[in-house]
Amino acid sequence: MEEGRTYGYVRVSTKEQNEDRQLLALLECGVQEENILIDKQSGKDFNRPKYQQLMREMKPGDTLFVKSIDRLGRDYEEIMNQWRVITKDMQVSIVVLDIPLLDTRQKERDLTGVFIADLVLQILSYVAQTEREFTHQRQAEGIAAARAKGVRLGRPPQERTKAFERLFEAWRKQEISGRFAAKQLGISHQTFQNWVREALGA
């Protein structure tokens, strides 16, 4: 297969984040700036405009460079699916700069290299999945422990202000509505109703 074009893909999660570090790493590897596509959005899925453009442009024999595997995406099951599509269906090589073992450029001459790359990717997927599960477990255990100690979770309740007493009296006399009082206090109508119940001892 003749040597194809070299592409680079850069992703940052928000428009405020800086992509320069990724961009510099790709340029230092010889990727032409005009062949580097940049998305500025979450990696929760692959419905990103520049990534989709990349998938349309790449042809068999091309090579795709990324700085790290999480720049492709956050969901490792989807990353593995995309990896198979790119390397096997599209016959495009992938090079992950931060993990030298994730380099499929030798796939025509070295099947062991492909096997190792696939194995590394599966290990990363397993580690990421178990870490997510451990994080959720730790959060659940932390919440249970805090509740057992009587710690109140969530937003602290808003305290009634002096202005409430005046507006509360006006509300009791039916001079104003609850919604008007809430607006004057800068709180929600629900919060005003909660304060009223507290004031009435309900």
- Known catalytic residues? 13
Beta strand 6-12 pairing with 36-40 = parallel
Is there a contact between 167 and 181 (Cβ–Cβ < 8 Å)? Answer: yes
Residue 36: exposure state from Cβ atoms within 10 A (0-12, 13-18, ≥19)? buried
**Long-range contact pairs involving 107-116 (C-beta distance under 8 Å, separation at least 24):** 108/1, 114/87
- For the chain, give the number of residues: 202
